Amino acid sequence: MSFINPAFLWALSAISIPIIIHLINLRRHKTVYFSNTVFLENIKKDSRKRTQLKHWLILLARILTIIMLVIAFAGPYIPNPVAQNNKLSEISIIYIDNSFSMQNEGTKGQLLKQAVQIAKEIVINSEPEKDFILITNSMKPEHQFILNHDNILREIDKIDFDPKPLIIRDLVVKAGSLTPTDKKAILYVISDMQESFISQDEAHEKLPDNIDLIFVPLAVNKIANLYVDSCFFLSPIHKLGQEEELSIILKNSSENDFYEIPIKLYINDTLKAMSTFDIEAKGNKEIKLKYKNTTKSHIKGRIEISDYPVTYDNELFFNYYAAEQTRILNIFQNNDNKYLNAVFNDSEAGFICKTVKAGNEQSSEILTYDLVVLNGLNDISSGLASILKEFIALGGSVLIFPPTELNENSYNTFLNQFNAGQFQNQRVLNSRIEKIEANHYFLKNIFLKIEKNTDLPSVGMSLKYNLFSTSTSSVLYLSAGNNPIFSFTKYGQGQLFIFSSPIVDINSDFLKSPLFAPTIYNIVIKSQINPDLYGIIQNNYEYELKGITEIEPKDIFRITDNKSIDIVCTHRSYGKSVKLFIPDEIKKAATYQIFNHETFLNYISLNYDRRESVLKYVEKEDLQNFIRDKLNNKALIISDAENLKSSLVEISEGKRIWQYFILMALFFIISEITIARLM
């Protein structure tokens, strides 16, 4: 305990006054006349001890009354480290949470308006010479410097909502980077304190020693929020005329049930499907909407629901590519193959296949294909091996069917580059496929269900194929004797598919089975390069633009909405992809266009971060635990933001407790009166 006016404690010498009065009263005698003194001796013996106890109790009550009054006037308070640092701090850092959740209503209106008013009160009640730093989710350049009293008030008035939420870890790192290490600072955190903001990371490890925190939680009214969380297609491949099935995940973060809520699906700004749904409180709902692709190439979509008052998460933008064709290069050794041609020449599926004899392929053209097939090549030349490795790393797919007799060293040299295993020039005859890895994501849309007693096809002849113990390859079809028949290897941006069985008549049981053709078909369609359905508007977001084969140093990539946004973005190319760094100026959820100079490349759909839609707030007890466990008690909580001025005084001067001493003084005065009356 400390005192605001410790000099007033000299008044404790006043306790000598009741002591002196008490001593004087003990010496004063009063004569009393009695007509009969027979019983006087017994009365004297009985009352002397009681009288002395009464005098001592009254004296003690008077002394304690004086002590309590003196301490109360001395201004007692309980100091804390943060309050002491606040007195010594040279800089006040003010963080205003301007995320979308601050659109919600509090006890005094919209939360962001309350936060702005609180920030102004902090500035106004600070010393005129104090410096300030303003931090918001927007991370504006003008907020990267120390501001004076007038400048920060002007900047606070300019604050508007921003779609990019922060977490406490990023906030303290930002505050530490802006604060000089030789100055003490107090960081005021004004927020609705969502659970996603108070993340359970090791924030205390990044909290500088010269900065302490003061949390200012804003009370939130209960809001019923329903939002579109995500979407995905059942099939990863899209074609003209194909019936699409879009799965939409809806979430209800409120305590209320919703009934007959309309949902709409727009494709290229045209209403394609609509439905209604019911969803229970705190529940999730998956809605499936079907429609038919009536256009090809680049397609943009939008999902829309109606929900009030939280509206920033009622839409979800996405885009995809309906392929016109998949380019296949089929390199064969001796004879073209009817089993492969049955799949590759499916023009309705959009497959365009070029078949060439081994040695006649053009290395410069290989990178322009989606899938390269090596059908029975006796060996793989070093030149072909080099270009295929680059092709796979850049995002291409290679499918290998070995010959009945192969150049073992040539194949294994090629496969060793991918850690994909080795062939042995040893034949395995008359084996039956006994295991299918149906749960592997590559096979998920081939088999609806596999019965235990399914009669799987036999393989008349295959080559012995061994996988390394360190290999990352997946065996999808395995024959008796543990010989892999079909395996899958991921490398770089691309993939390598390997069959150990040649395409020859002795394997006709396998080649004619319902297993072979769907597998080849799936390899072809999985070789198509598809963009991500959508991305998230957040700091330092990178978008991968796939299917770009040649990048020139003079290329300029820009993002536009053909209205108010037309921004050049930095990029980094690798493989068949380009990484675009989305500028911070893009703050609105929408589907934008990507251009290289004036050439249209693709759409990019950006949505708001759905973390802001989960309206779960940190309770005071949990926040106190976070301060204790993660911030080493280097933080305080202002519980009463509505009476901010008194709270700031308490923060600055510690917790005042003079009123408790006044109450105790009154208690001792009442005790003195009671003792005098009853004794």
**pLDDT higher than 90, residue 88:** no
- Reply yes or no on whether the pLDDT at 200 is more than 70: no
């007195």: which residue's tokens?
A: 87
In terms of DSSP bridges, do strands 535-536 and 599-607 run parallel, antiparallel, or are they unpaired? Answer: parallel
* Distance from C-alpha of 372 to C-alpha of 366, rounded to nearest angstrom: 8
Give the position of tokens 């040539």: 410
* Locus of tokens 């955190």: 189
Q: Which two tokens stand for residue 620?
A: 């005071």
| pLDDT, average across residues 160-169 | 88
Mean of the pLDDT values across residues 525-539?
Answer: 81
Compute the distance between CA of residue 201 and CA of residue 71 in angstroms, rounded to an integer: 44
Query: Is the pLDDT higher at 85 or at 598?
Result: 598
Assign 552 a pLDDT band (cuts: 50, 70, 90): confident
pLDDT tens digits, 22-49: 777 665 556 666 666 655 555 555 566 7
Return all residues near 577 (Cβ < 8 A) that are at least 6 apart.
394, 395, 493, 544, 545, 546, 547, 548
Task: Please give the backbone phi and psi of residue 195, each rounded to the nearest 5 degrees, phi first.
Answer: -60, -35
Contact 231, 318 (CB under 8 A): yes
pLDDT tens, residue by residue, 203-249: 555 678 888 888 999 988 877 789 999 999 877 678 777 889 999 99
What is the predicted pLDDT for the residue at 27? 56
Cis peptide bond upstream of 309, omega within 30 = yes
Distance, CA of 57 to CA of 49 (rounded, Å)? 12
pLDDT of residue 296: 80
pLDDT of 96: 95
Give the residue carrying structure tokens 């009356």. 677
Better-scored residue on pLDDT, 637 or 609: 609
- How large a percentage of the chain has pLDDT more than 70? 87
Instruction: Measure CA 638 to chain center.
Output: 27
421-431 pLDDT, tens digit per residue, is: 899 888 999 99
- CA torsion sign for 167, 168, 174, 175 is positive
pLDDT of residue 352 exceeding 70, the answer is yes
Task: Report, as an integer, the average pLDDT of 273-294.
Answer: 92
pLDDT band at 140 (very low <50, low <70, confident <90, very high): confident
3-state DSSP assignment of residue 252:
strand
| Tens digits of residue pLDDT in 114-136 | 999 999 999 988 888 889 999 99
Strand, coil or helix: what is 538? coil
Q: What is the DSSP letter of 209?
A: T
When pLDDT is averaged across residues 548-556 and rounded to a whole number, the result is 74
Q: Nearest-5° angle of CA 270, CA 279, CA 293?
A: 25
- pLDDT tens readout for residues 666-675: 988 888 888 8
**Going from the N-terminus, what domains does the chain have, and what CATH number goes with each?**
2-79+658-678 (no CATH), 81-222+615-653 (3.40.50.410), 326-526 (3.40.50.880), 535-607 (2.60.40)
Give the Cβ contact number of residue 203 at 10 Å.
20
- Name 643's Cβ contacts closer than 8 Å, sequence gap at least 6: none
Q: What is the overall mean pLDDT for the chain?
A: 84
Which has the closest alpha carbon to 370: 319, 323, 413?
323
What pairing do the DSSP bridges indicate for beta strands 270-279 and 258-267?
Answer: antiparallel
**Residue with the larger pLDDT of the pair 85 and 58:** 58
Q: List Cβ neighbours of 135 (8 Å cut-off, separation of 6 or more).
A: 93, 94, 95, 96, 143, 171, 174, 175, 178
SS3 state at 489: strand
- Read off the amino acid at residue 473: S
Predicted local distance difference test score (pLDDT) of residue 22: 76
Contact 544, 532 (CB under 8 A): yes
Mean pLDDT for the stretch of residues 493-504: 91
pLDDT average, residue stretch 548-562: 81
Distance CA 204, CA 637 (A): 16
- pLDDT category at 300 given cuts 50, 70, 90 is very high
Q: Residue 44: helix, strand or coil by DSSP?
A: helix
pLDDT at 110: 87
Nearest 5 degrees, angle CA 516-CA 519-CA 525?
Answer: 140
Mean pLDDT calculated for residue range 128-152: 89
In this structure, what DSSP letter does residue 195 have? T
Mean pLDDT calculated for residue range 434-456? 74
Average pLDDT over every residue of 95-105: 90
Residue 134 and residue 149: Cα distance in Å, rounded?
A: 11
Residue 324 and residue 298 in contact, taking contact as beta carbons nearer than 8 Å: no
Locus of tokens 């529940």: 283
End-to-end, the C-alpha distance of the chain in Å comes to 36
Angle (CA) 274-279-282 rounded to 5° is: 140
In Å, how far are 86, 464, 532, 564 from 232, measured between CA atoms? 51, 40, 10, 30
Quote the pLDDT of residue 608: 93
Prediction pTM value: 0.69
Of 373-382, 555-564, 566-575, the one with minimum mean pLDDT is: 566-575
In this prediction, residues 329-335 reach a mean pLDDT of 87
Asked if residue 280 lies in contact with residue 264, where contact means CB atoms within 8 angstroms, the answer is no
What local confidence, expressed as pLDDT, does residue 202 receive?
52
- At residue 41, the pLDDT reads 59
Residue 590, pLDDT > 90, answer yes
Crossing angle for the helix pair 408-416 and 382-393, to the nearest 10 degrees: 30
- For residue 368 the two structure tokens come to 């322009």
CA separation for the pair 97, 162 (Å, rounded): 9
User: Is the pLDDT higher at 661 or at 461?
Assistant: 461
Q: What is the mean pLDDT of residues 360-375?
A: 88
The token pair at 276 is 């209604």
- Sheet harboring 571-574: ordered strands across? 542-546, 577-581, 571-574
240: nearest Cα among 300, 291, 296, 290:
296
Spatial distance between the Cα atoms of 619 and 30, rounded to a whole number of angstroms: 69
Amino acid 654: pLDDT: 62
Shortest CA distance to 516 belongs to which of 549, 486, 552, 472? 486
Residue 521 is predicted with a pLDDT of 87
- DSSP 8-class letter at 239: B
pLDDT for 68 = 87
Classify residue 69 by burial, with Cβ atoms within 10 Å: 0-12, 13-18, 19+: buried
Strand 571-574 relative to strand 577-581: parallel, antiparallel, unpaired?
Answer: antiparallel
Specify the amino acid at residue 537. I
The whole-number pLDDT of residue 651 equals 63
Determine the pLDDT at residue 34. Answer: 60
Burial 209-241 (b: 16+ CB within 10 A, else e): ebbbbbbbbbbbeeebbbbbbbbeeeeebbbee
Closest CA to 498 of 507, 510, 509, 485: 485
Write down the residue that tokens 């496929």 correspond to. Answer: 433
Q: Is residue 359 scored above 70 in pLDDT?
A: yes
Confidence of residue 251 (pLDDT cuts 50, 70, 90): very high
d(CA 50, CA 69): 29
Confidence of residue 453 (pLDDT cuts 50, 70, 90): low
- Looking at the DSSP bridge assignments, the partners of residue 571 are 580
